[in-house]
Chain A
């Protein structure tokens, strides 16, 4: 083969002492589609952001483009080095026209005035080459997701990029749009571009990939050439690690499993969730696994009434219940711990005391509306002691606590209502290792006392470590379920296969 267009040697990146990438090598040639795979958090996005200039790598590594060492700095650094990235969430300005978006930041002007006409003519040839069915003057807001992606690609070509990175480009595309995109990607390969294609989906990697590189925990696991690309090999490379004893699961799923508490039947929102049913029993911890964007959080939001649903019904302890708002869910005894505690959970400026008591203020109040401050204080003190929340006192603002302590404050708020069903969305995200294992014990204790628990997590070892049963979602559907046998543990490979859709390909 000819000389590589991109070579990365020993590239590392750490954040606050945590290694997100450890001495990763990557070699990409012109005219190839290079698939980059790995679990959520394996380091794919970090690697990509280094190439775009959004992150600066740790000293020691080397990046060469066409054999010359380069330093990629600042948001325009990647483009200057000939690298363009098409993000999952497209980065176009919907209020501007196609031509204006393609020229964004490098507008043409004539005597200080915007040369709109010249810009429209300038992008014409590229749009024709890509087979676009819209005009340069069209507003991006009027384009479909697939057409917007085309604009992104046109922008990359217009910047004369030699390396195109695509981050899960098909997540928001329809099947037909995806097919068109594949054809286009192949055409670009034939024109000599190097394409780094990040995807979770095995079928896409089969269809497009000339080579596959797998990352795990920020390390390079290895690369496979076209003839070696096999689903089982890739899954083993993506998963391959031991489940540590760090997870706590004392409650006995066989003996303890009680009656069904929560049954969601055929839940759909018409967009991201397409008819999902699941049941959680008393004293059971059910995992809800799946890739990012599979619709897990959206399903949870439907269950608690935080988003409008187009179909489906809920049963609580065998009786149908109508839940339209999160407030009604709490009253019914269904509590939801959000995945985004800063944006959707905590009130960072309010005291821990208020944060903990928020859901039960009305229940505790004297005369229906006067705060019972003694009761609130007692409850907060009990939560601090019971969950070992570390802060100066219950009066400090929640925003000043560490991630783990913030999470425990939020969890205390939910536990204050003594929920029948507890839905935990990424309960240990952004939480240090010590607090993680404490949160696992809390979950285990709740299961022992009969709470039905649904855990959404992208951390597979966590799901396997704490759950009795795992329901896997893929693209808005329930893809299947993995159960623990009497003697066999839950298998990461089975979950991963369901989540990525590889079970059909190997069968």
Chain B
């Protein structure tokens, strides 16, 4: 039978020698895929350091890079959950705006002001769960559902502020947007925004790698039909991942609101989803799901932030920054494909 033949084409190594060699090859392959884009990030950093005559690796500049990467890192973490299941969430920029608007509006109410932060998070979670429910229960394609909510939620965000910019110079918890956590007094401190982003990455890692749900997320992305037959509640996993993506977008909205003391439903978060998706893809997560890691996403988000920062440092014009960023993204992923040729699918 033909199918017999095909599956016998790769016999298992039988000798102990073969097993050892295979094991070594396997370890090298695992190392390469674990490192992922990290070398690219380091090369970029060093390159910019020399091109900018030593202005990149300074405490102040690194602080700026981390702060600029923070919101995108949080969005990209949520996007990683979604893309690991083989889906996509195009609505995170709009959800971010709506959450920031909801939070800021509430923060201006004297007796409820302190509740603005949970309100922003819940707004994001709510939109995310709606996305998830439409995708999981009505079996609609994620691209279509989140493309729809990209537009609809943007409209709601404008509606929340009556299409104006909402200000609150005395917003509670403003420190998370502009303060820093002092590590060694007078020597080292780290912006709260970055602390939050790193915490989000850590929690995401815990969920993805240390919980039952994490394995189920990888399983749904790897083979949805097999997951269903294996007794996994695929619908619950899908609602969870879109819920997480919405929640993190809500958190991103809160971070932006605290940083700017203001939000505008029309402008805030425009095309943030593209940067988030780019970070995930740069991080080596498979677009069809099932393969990828949250650490890769962190590296991807940092690459984007380093590129923006470095190009400004060396004085490249705004227009050329777009062109160069776009080409670097394509080049980096092309390099990745070439490197991993044969060992993984797209």
Contact residues of B between 196 and 228, Cβ < 8 Å to A: 210-216, 218-219, 222-223, 225-228
- Known contacts A350-B222, A393-B23, A401-B12, A429 near B229 by CB under 8 Å: no
Stretch from B1-9, B97-105, B261-269, B332-340 contacting the other chain: B1-9
- Known contacts A20-B2, A347-B223, A392 near B229 by CB under 8 Å: no
Do residues B4 and A430 form an inter-chain contact, with CB atoms below 8 A? yes
Question: Chain A residues near B145 (CB, 8 Å)?
Answer: none
Do residues B5 and A15 form an inter-chain contact, with CB atoms below 8 A? yes
Do residues B215 and A361 form an inter-chain contact, with CB atoms below 8 A? yes
Partner of B212, one of A344, A369, A392: A369
- Interface SS of B by simple majority: helix
Do residues B291 and A349 form an inter-chain contact, with CB atoms below 8 A? yes
User: Contact string, A396-407, partner B, CB cutoff 8 A, digits 1/0?
Assistant: 100011110110
Stretch from A85-93, A134-142, A195-203, A322-330 contacting the other chain: A322-330
In the bound assembly, the distance between CA atoms of A352 and B216 in angstroms comes to 15
Partner of A344, one of B3, B226, B233, B291: B226
- Known contacts A344-B225, A347-B290, A350-B222, A18 near B4 by CB under 8 Å: yes
- Known contacts A348-B223, A350-B218, A365-B212, A392 near B22 by CB under 8 Å: yes
Residue with the greatest number of chain A CB neighbours at <10 A, chosen from B225, B231, B232: B231
Contact count band on B? 35 or more
User: Contact string, B276-299, partner A, CB cutoff 8 A, digits 1/0?
Assistant: 000000000000001100000000
In the bound assembly, the distance between CA atoms of A430 and B216 in angstroms comes to 27
Do residues B10 and A16 form an inter-chain contact, with CB atoms below 8 A? no
In the bound assembly, the distance between CA atoms of A41 and B3 in angstroms comes to 10
In the bound assembly, the distance between CA atoms of A390 and B15 in angstroms comes to 10
Q: Does B341 contact A (CB under 8 A)?
A: no
- Known contacts A326-B228, A396-B26, A16 near B8 by CB under 8 Å: yes
Closest residue of B by beta carbon distance from A428: B4
Question: Chain A residues near B26 (CB, 8 Å)?
Answer: 392-393, 395-396
CB of B4, distance to nearest CB on chain A (Å): 6
User: Contact string, A328-358, partner B, CB cutoff 8 A, digits 1/0?
Assistant: 1111000010100001111111100010011
Do residues A46 and B215 form an inter-chain contact, with CB atoms below 8 A? no
Partner of A371, one of B3, B210, B229, B345: B210
Q: Does A432 contact B (CB under 8 A)?
A: yes
- Known contacts A326-B228, A349-B291, A403-B7, A41 near B215 by CB under 8 Å: no
Do residues B8 and A429 form an inter-chain contact, with CB atoms below 8 A? no
CB of A179, distance to nearest CB on chain B (Å): 33
In the bound assembly, the distance between CA atoms of A429 and B4 in angstroms comes to 7
CB of A43, distance to nearest CB on chain B (Å): 9
Do residues A338 and B19 form an inter-chain contact, with CB atoms below 8 A? no
In the bound assembly, the distance between CA atoms of A452 and B270 in angstroms comes to 59
Do residues B218 and A354 form an inter-chain contact, with CB atoms below 8 A? yes
Do residues A358 and B230 form an inter-chain contact, with CB atoms below 8 A? yes
Question: Chain A residues near B9 (CB, 8 Å)?
Answer: 16
Q: Does B344 contact A (CB under 8 A)?
A: yes
Do residues A371 and B211 form an inter-chain contact, with CB atoms below 8 A? yes
Do residues A41 and B1 form an inter-chain contact, with CB atoms below 8 A? yes
Do residues B229 and A326 form an inter-chain contact, with CB atoms below 8 A? yes
CB of A427, distance to nearest CB on chain B (Å): 14
- Known contacts A348-B223, A370-B210, A402-B12, A338 near B229 by CB under 8 Å: yes
Do residues A347 and B222 form an inter-chain contact, with CB atoms below 8 A? yes
- Known contacts A369-B211, A390-B14, A343 near B225 by CB under 8 Å: yes
Question: Chain A residues near B19 (CB, 8 Å)?
Answer: 392
- Known contacts A370-B211, A392-B22, A401-B12, A430 near B3 by CB under 8 Å: yes
Contact residues of A between 359 and 402, Cβ < 8 Å to B: 359, 361-362, 365, 369-371, 390-393, 395-396, 400-402
Q: Does B13 contact A (CB under 8 A)?
A: yes
Closest residue of A by beta carbon distance from B212: A361
In the bound assembly, the distance between CA atoms of A338 and B230 in angstroms comes to 10
Question: Chain B residues near A357 (CB, 8 Å)?
Answer: 215
Q: Does A413 contact B (CB under 8 A)?
A: yes
Question: Chain A residues near B229 (CB, 8 Å)?
Answer: 304, 306, 326, 336, 338, 344-345
CB of B149, distance to nearest CB on chain A (Å): 28
CB of A486, distance to nearest CB on chain B (Å): 35
Q: Does A112 contact B (CB under 8 A)?
A: no
Contact residues of A between 262 and 315, Cβ < 8 Å to B: 304, 306
User: Contact string, A252-270, partner B, CB cutoff 8 A, digits 1/0?
Assistant: 0000000000000000000
Q: Does B11 contact A (CB under 8 A)?
A: yes
Do residues B211 and A326 form an inter-chain contact, with CB atoms below 8 A? no
Residue with the greatest number of chain A CB neighbours at <10 A, chosen from B4, B10, B14: B4
Q: Does A227 contact B (CB under 8 A)?
A: no
B→A interface (CB under 8 Å): 1-14, 19, 22-23, 26, 210-216, 218-219, 222-223, 225-233, 290-291, 344-345
A–B complex contacts, Cβ < 8 Å, 16 sampled: A41-B1, A338-B229, A344-B225, A349-B218, A349-B222, A350-B219, A350-B222, A358-B215, A370-B212, A390-B13, A392-B13, A392-B22, A392-B26, A396-B26, A403-B4, A431-B4
